[in-house]
Amino acid sequence: MMAQLTSSERQNIIAIGLAILIGGFTLAILGRNDILGIHALLFVAAGGLAIIVGARNLYKPEPSEDRSQSYYDDPSKVGIFLALIWGIFGMFIGDWIAWLMAFPDMTFSEGWSSFGRLRPSHTTGVIFGFGGNALIATSFHVVQRTSRARLPSQVLPWFVLWGYNLFCLLGVTGYFMGITQSREYAEPEWYADIWLVIVWVSYFGLYIWTLARRKEPHIYVSNWYYMAFILVVAVLHIVNNLAVPLSWGSAKSYSLFSGVQDAMTQWWYGHNAVAFFLTAGFLGMMYYYLPKRAQRPIYSYRMSIISFWGITFFYMWAGSHHLHYTALPHWVQNLGMSFSVMLLVPSWASAGNALMTLNGAWHRVRDDAVLRFMMVAAIFYGLSTFEGSFMAIRPVNSLSHYTDWTVGHVHSGALGWVAMIVFGSFYALVPWLWKRKSMYSARLIEVHFWLALAGTVVYVFALWNAGIIQGLMWRTYNDGGTLAYSFMESVDAMRPYYVARGIGGLLFLTGTILCLYNVWMTTRMATETDTESVDQSVATLQPAE
């Protein structure tokens, strides 16, 4: 991991570690009378680790000069493992709390293990831990290949990767202790938020710096998406997390906005976290790994332009569909609904572009589970974006909102689209990165594919049923003109579906564990001697015109 770093870079790592250590120590002292005092020790530990790693390697031999002729892939390799470990953690918590909804006492009596604290650990673990690390790892790989340029720094990528994981860790450990802002998918408190801003600005800097050094005249589509992901998430993160802490020594803060404005800001963030974190970034992944694996150019260059700008523009209007029939003014609700429906056009243009790219390579899809992961991802992307637009229509939303249908919809996107494209991309990428002939076991990939697909289908069907039954029970009147069901009757009716969901989640989790095993075993296989150089052509990526 440190072998490619020059001694001045190792010194830089020690300096950065020292800065984090001092910052963390200051925060711990300021917060000594608060829970912040304990939480800030994570910064101290992270800084200390960086110093130790830097110091232990300080006098190792300098790397050879010809390293600049090849790509810098070590951060991507570590990122893949981090993503899978976070994925297993997040999915484990997710399945645990899924079972809690059928058997509520299947937990410990301490606060950390209660549903309300585990739930954000699940969402943070899978969205930011699993998804975010996968995005960082693949973006480093893709930007170098499509630019034919090596990452310009060997320290910054590590800072971005480990700094980002520190943020995830701050989030999850915080929830266990009851530290949360309650803003969905933005729960970490102010100090973790500020830390993420620092990391994220470095990420953007690194990305644009690499692009600036590119040898390809054009910036490939994947990079548009990765850039939109980095930039827009930064804007969303900063605006949504504006808050006033009690003091510099307190973990608690109060959001700057209140009530209706706060709700709108939060769902503007929340929906666009889906758009730019869970969609744009992963579309970037798809636009690179799918054509590479299928060995066919992207079907339409123009469709990719239309869908990119369509997604960038329309999505930002759609957040208010989370607030239909609430105290949010009607005009905002209507704008949100209208743009959500329009959003189907660029969404399906992307999904269609992916599937049309596979047209002519169906025999490969049949034989290759890796490509099948990607195809299923594109199909689920199309399905869940259609479902999303449909659910954003006010009368549909009056039935679906607040029910498990929403949860089913989210998971059709998260499991069916996001996780599937990650698995497909990882299985394609791992042998390239580690220079192996193939993955350790094609058979395990096949098993993983069917586990993941079965898990997703069971999960999504269970919650479609659950949600629609729930929604109907809440609004059904009997002949006398009064409500037919008590709320508890609707809870009781959910039980079989919650059990089914727990089983679906377990299948999916099992598949992810197999994936980690398969990747680990691949890295232990013998190396193929075929080094990929910066000057290698990226001709297969050129879109058909």
Footprint on residues 382-421 left by other proteins (CB under 8 A):
398, 401-403, 406-407
Residue of 116, 201, 437, 443 interacting with other proteins (CB under 8 A): 116
Is 323 or 420 the residue whose CB approaches other proteins more closely? 323
Is 403 or 512 the residue whose CB approaches other proteins more closely? 403
Residue of 93, 228, 444, 514 interacting with other proteins (CB under 8 A): 228
Residue of 59, 61, 66, 259 interacting with other proteins (CB under 8 A): 259
3-class state of residue 51 by DSSP:
helix
Is 61 or 259 the residue whose CB approaches other proteins more closely? 259
Q: Cα–Cα–Cα angle for 128, 129, 130, nearest 5°? A: 100
Smallest separation, CB 218 to other proteins (Å):
5
Residues 120-139 contacting other proteins, CB under 8 A: 120
Smallest separation, CB 500 to other proteins (Å):
15
Q: Which stretch binds other proteins (CB under 8 A): 60-68, 190-198, 308-316, 518-526?
A: 308-316
Q: Which stretch binds other proteins (CB under 8 A): 22-30, 84-92, 96-104, 283-291?
A: 96-104
Structure tokens at 213: 């050094």
Residue of 224, 287, 497, 508 interacting with other proteins (CB under 8 A): 224
Is 133 or 210 the residue whose CB approaches other proteins more closely? 210
Of residues 165, 115, 116, the one with CA closest to residue 137 = 165
Smallest separation, CB 290 to other proteins (Å):
20
Q: What would the x/- binding string for other proteins be over residues 49 to 88, using CB under 8 A?
A: ----------------------------------------
Distance CA 446, CA 511 (A): 10
Q: Are strands 243-245 and 253-255 parallel, antiparallel or unpaired?
A: antiparallel
Smallest separation, CB 202 to other proteins (Å):
15
Structure tokens at 145: 């290949």
Is 342 or 379 the residue whose CB approaches other proteins more closely? 342
Residue with tokens 């570690």: 17
Q: Are 43 and 166 in contact (CB under 8 A)?
A: yes
Of residues 378, 208, 369, 344, the one with CA closest to residue 293 = 369
Smallest separation, CB 40 to other proteins (Å):
17
Distance CA 376, CA 383 (A): 10
Q: Which stretch binds other proteins (CB under 8 A): 40-48, 218-226, 285-293, 426-434?
A: 218-226
Smallest separation, CB 345 to other proteins (Å):
16
Smallest separation, CB 402 to other proteins (Å):
4
Q: Are 316 and 268 in contact (CB under 8 A)?
A: yes
For 265-393, where are the E strands, in sequence order? none
Is 263 or 351 the residue whose CB approaches other proteins more closely? 263
- In DSSP notation, 162-193 reads HHHHHHHHHHHHHHHTT-----TT--S-HHHH
Residues 140-159 contacting other proteins, CB under 8 A: none
Round the CA-based radius of gyration of the chain to a whole number and report it: 23
Q: Are 275 and 519 in contact (CB under 8 A)?
A: no
Residue with tokens 């890295």: 523
Is 102 or 454 the residue whose CB approaches other proteins more closely? 102
Residues 447-476 contacting other proteins, CB under 8 A: 474-475
Structure tokens at 331: 């005009």
Is 315 or 380 the residue whose CB approaches other proteins more closely? 315
Of residues 355, 202, 309, 177, the one with CA closest to residue 252 = 177
Smallest separation, CB 475 to other proteins (Å):
4
Residues 477-496 contacting other proteins, CB under 8 A: 477, 482-483, 487-488, 491-492
Smallest separation, CB 141 to other proteins (Å):
18
Residue of 245, 436, 441, 542 interacting with other proteins (CB under 8 A): 245
Distance CA 261, CA 255 (A): 11
248 binds other proteins (CB under 8 A): no
Q: What are phi and psi of 254, to 5 degrees?
A: -115, 135
Is 330 or 437 the residue whose CB approaches other proteins more closely? 330
Smallest separation, CB 467 to other proteins (Å):
10
Residues 318-337 contacting other proteins, CB under 8 A: 318-320, 322-329, 332, 335-336
Mutual angle of helices 369-391 and 344-358, in 10-degree steps: 160
Residues 260-279 contacting other proteins, CB under 8 A: 260-266, 268, 276
Is 41 or 305 the residue whose CB approaches other proteins more closely? 305
Q: Which stretch binds other proteins (CB under 8 A): 80-88, 175-183, 281-289, 522-530?
A: 175-183
Smallest separation, CB 489 to other proteins (Å):
9
Q: Are 437 and 302 in contact (CB under 8 A)?
A: no
Q: How many C-beta atoms lie closer than 10 Å to residue 544's C-beta? A: 12
Residues 494-513 contacting other proteins, CB under 8 A: none
Q: What are phi and psi of 533, to 5 degrees?
A: -105, 165
3-class state of residue 346 by DSSP:
helix
Q: Are 135 and 285 in contact (CB under 8 A)?
A: yes
Of residues 502, 492, 464, 504, the one with CA closest to residue 99 = 502
Q: What are phi and psi of 268, to 5 degrees?
A: -65, -45
Smallest separation, CB 481 to other proteins (Å):
10
Is 254 or 520 the residue whose CB approaches other proteins more closely? 254
Residues 17-56 contacting other proteins, CB under 8 A: 34
| Sign of the torsion formed by the C-alpha atoms of 438, 150, 140 and 171 | positive
Q: Are 385 and 344 in contact (CB under 8 A)?
A: yes
* Amino acid at residue number 131: G
